[in-house]
A and B are shown apart, each in its own frame.
Chain A
Amino acid sequence: MDIKSMKSYLYWLYCQFELITCSYLMEPWEKVLFYTFNISMLVMVLYTAYIFIPVHLSTAFQFFLHLFGNQHENTVSIVK
């Protein structure tokens, strides 16, 4: 039952997407074109996020650490 309601909910979401972006009005080949474009854009954005965000985050973290935390490193070395 849960799968069925989940499926109908997803179908309803798909219908909303179709209505809002006017792809409900498009002919099938136009829909293929539109979805290909959208999905490829989405995949590219996600891939870029996957590759670059961890690097950016760790760089930012180190920068802030360096700005505020020279003392922090000192304390670590003393304890050691």
Chain B
Amino acid sequence: MANPSAVCNGHLHHHHHQKQNNLLKSGICKKNGITKGMKKNGVSNGTLYKKTFIEHFEQAPMYVAVLTFLGFGVGTVFGYLRDFMRAWGLEKRNIAAEREQQKDFVPLYQDFENFYTRNLYMRIRDNWNRPICSVPGPQFDLMERVTDDYNWTFRFTGRTIKNVINMGSYNYLGFAETDVNALKTVAIELQKYGTGVCSTRQEMGTLDKHVEIEKLVAKFLGVEDAMVFGMGFATNSMNIPALVGKGCLILSDELNHTSLVLGARLSGATIRIFKHNNMQSLENLLRDAIIYGQPRSRRAWRKIIILVEGIYSMEGSIVRLPEIVSLKKKYKAYLYLDEAHSIGAVGATGRGVVEYFGMSPDDVDVLMGTFTKSFGAAGGYLAGKKDLVDFLRTHSHSAAYATSMCPAVAEQIIRAMKCLMGLDGTTQGLQRVRQLGKNTRYFRRRLHEMGFIIYGNDDSPVVPLLLYMPGKIGAFARRMLEKNIGVVVVGFPATPITESRARFCVSAAHTREMLDTVLNALDELGDFLRLKYSRYSKSSHPELYEETSLELED
């Protein structure tokens, strides 16, 4: 990483301001992490973090929060008005309603609960579920659709919008491609095995392909054994119940993905939540758990397991793995690391957060990941010690009841992994990882310079750009599509109410020109929609920094 004191003024200035920002103004006061990371070169904390850990969570000025609530207030008032008109028959009802004969029964559709969906989401619904009709590579084709009745129904005009730049797909290493040479082995396996497996792992669904891929995954991660499943979400939700049960304690991060939350709830264990990436909070919970034990009987917990993710996809933040591992060793808990977004995307050779922090995979008890994001396939894996994986093979719900992975998909994963490891004889895999790192750093740096508020770690390829106001969510997505760029915007239920955002996923397949097109469009749109809320932007002439920047872009 670049030595901050050696680079040009702008970069040092930027770091200095970030330190002030984080210490004084950040609403989320991270005591252990940010202050340690902000000390240059990790001098005072050289034992845990081998390189600087810089995360930004800048708060917007107060007037932005006020205006956001104002916008939501107006939306709510009009929502009540529309509901009133619908209830009194002044307007046609477009949502599901019961039949006349069942009006006296217990209501099937609870009207008020869907207030937000009916009145606010419906107005901007055309920005989601857009059907695409090509491979989701760096550019893709969209089917054009129009609505005649304000987004209640859509119809396709028959045209396709071609070559829309794709900033929303989780295609981190660019393996979602249709190049015939690349997919040669996949086509051969498809001819050999067909598409369906028609059985579960425990019955007749374990093919030699599965054995091959499991060995390869174990070798890639540096662990003893691994097991693969057909669906990434189901890997979490179906296997956590097999690992923990009643009488165990789960300590889960505030912002964990739904699959982890669902798995934790299904297991029947006690769940306690610690603040996002906050090690003080986690340590307090661990101490309380060990001192007080189970709630009524005061017995010791059978097992304490910590559930965290490698990269959190809504924030772009990276887990503080060294601190968590030292905590887990001190208090003798287990660690379950979900590397869905970080496997392949971070680390010098793409082996995830474990490699990013320079730690050994033996420190983490259960390594989980998915193949959906960086490998251009589908499915998930669980890896760790051989005893653990053998236990899962017999006790997992997914192994007993879910269909196993399709062999052609398995072959795609095998070829992608071999490419990453360099086993196919080329350095293409390493080049992709490096390109992703370069693209990520460039994109984030330019966005910071322009003055947008960006969340997350400087090395994470997930870039959330804060929009705040509900009116701007729809305007942003629509205008970006007019400029031929496809983005994903996220609003209330998935994020806190005042912090709606647009989430960009940088890919190794994006060229510099594509990123520049996107950045220019963002610049223009940022000025038009007034999105540049950051108080720490550098200058309006970023071209001047391009030549004098001494940041090492390897």
Binding site for B on A (CB under 8 A): 12, 15-16, 18-27, 30, 34
In contact, B530 and A21 (Cβ under 8 angstroms): no
Q: Is the CB of B475 within 8 A of A24?
A: yes
Q: Are A16 and B530 in contact, with the CB atoms below 8 A?
A: yes
B474: Cβ under 8 A from any A Cβ: yes
Asked if B291 CB lies within 8 Å of chain A CBs, one says no
Q: Are A19 and B124 in contact (CB under 8 A)?
A: no
* Minimal beta-carbon separation of A27 from chain B (angstroms): 6
| Interchain CB contact under 8 A, B78 and A19 | no
Residues of B within 8 A of A22 (CB): 71-72, 74-75, 78, 469-471
Smallest distance from the beta carbon of A21 to chain B beta carbons, Å? 5
A12 to B475 CA separation, bound complex (whole angstroms): 14
Instruction: Tell me if A19 and B469 are in contact (CB < 8 A).
Output: yes
Q: Which residues on A sit within 8 Å (CB–CB) of B329?
A: none
Q: Within B41-81, which residues are at the interface with A (CB < 8 Å)? A: 67, 70-72, 74-75, 78, 81
Residue of B nearest to A17 (CB): B471
Q: A12-B528, A16-B530, A22-B469 are in contact. List 5 more A-B contacts (CB 8 A).
A: A19-B475, A20-B67, A24-B474, A24-B475, A25-B474
B116 at interface, CB cutoff 8 A: no
Structural contact, B471 and A19, CB atoms closer than 8 A: yes
Chain A hits for B475, CB < 8 A: 19, 24
Residues of A within 8 A of B120 (CB): 25
| Interface residues contributed by chain B, number (CB under 8 Å) | 21
Interface centre among A12, A19, A21, A30 (most CB of B within 10 A): A19
Contact of B472 among A12, A19, A27, A34 (CB under 8 A): A19
Chain A contacts for B474, CB-based, 8 A: 24-25
Report the tally of A-B residue pairs with Cβ distances under 8 A: 45
Which of chain A's residues has its CB closest to B119's CB? A25
B150 within 8 Å of A (CB atoms): yes
> Which residues from 501 to 530 on chain B have a C-beta closer than 8 Å to any C-beta of chain A?
528-530
- Of B70, B124, B528, the residue contacting A20 (CB under 8 A) is B70
Which B residues are CB-close (under 8 A) to A16?
Answer: 530
**In contact, B471 and A21 (Cβ under 8 angstroms):** yes
Give residues 422-475 of B contacting A (CB, 8 Å). 469-472, 474-475
Q: From A27, which residue of chain B is reached at the shortest CB distance? A: B150
Closest to B122 in A: A25
Give, as a whole number of angstroms, the nearest-CB distance from A4 to chain B.
17
Residues of the B chain whose Cβ atoms lie less than 8 Å from the Cβ of A23: 74, 471
Chain B interface residues (CB < 8 Å from chain A): 67, 70-72, 74-75, 78, 81, 120, 123-124, 150, 469-472, 474-475, 528-530
Q: Is the CB of B528 within 8 A of A25?
A: no
Contacts of A25 in B (CB 8 A): 75, 120, 123-124, 470-471, 474
* Interchain Cβ contacts under 8 Å between A and B, 7 examples: A20-B471, A22-B71, A22-B74, A22-B75, A25-B471, A25-B474, A27-B150
Instruction: Tell me which residues across on chain B come within 8 A of A21, comparing CB atoms.
Output: 70-71, 74, 471
Q: Please indicate which of the listed interface residues A15, A22, A23 has the most CB atoms of chain B within 10 Å of its own CB.
A: A22
Q: Are A18 and B471 in contact (CB under 8 A)?
A: yes
Across the A-B interface, give the 4 residue pairs with the lowest CB-CB distance, nearest first.
A19-B471, A25-B123, A22-B71, A22-B471
A24: contacting residue among B70, B78, B81, B471, CB under 8 A? B471
Closest to A15 in B: B528
The answer to whether A20 touches B469 (Cβ under 8 A) is yes
| Distance between A11 CB and nearest chain B CB, rounded to angstroms | 11
What is the minimal beta-carbon distance from B203 to any residue of chain A, in angstroms? 52
B220 to chain A, nearest CB (A): 47
- Residue in B67, B78, B529 whose CB lies within 8 Å of A30: B78
CB distance from A72 to the nearest CB of B (A): 45
- Chain B residues contacting A12 (CB-CB under 8 Å) are 528
Alpha-carbon distance A27/B72, docked complex (angstroms): 16
Q: For the complex, what is the distance from the CA of A16 to the CA of B471, rounded to whole Å?
A: 10
A30 vs B67: C-alpha distance when bound (angstroms)? 20
What's the Cα separation between A18 and B469 when bound, in Å?
11
The residue in chain B whose Cβ has the minimal distance to the Cβ of A18 is: B471
Provide the bound-state CA to CA distance between A12 and B471, in Å.
15
Contacts of B78 in A (CB 8 A): 22, 26, 30, 34
Residue of A15, A16, A20, A21 with highest tally of chain B CB at under 10 A: A20
With CB as the reference atom, state the residue of chain A lying closest to B123: A25
**Chain B residues with Cβ under 8 A from A19's Cβ?**
469, 471-472, 475, 529
In whole angstroms, what is the CA distance A44 to B150 when docked? 33
* Chain A residues, CB < 8 A from B70: 20-21
CB distance from B520 to the nearest CB of A (A): 19
- A residues within 8 A CB of B472? 19
The docked-state distance in angstroms from the alpha carbon of A18 to that of B472 is 10
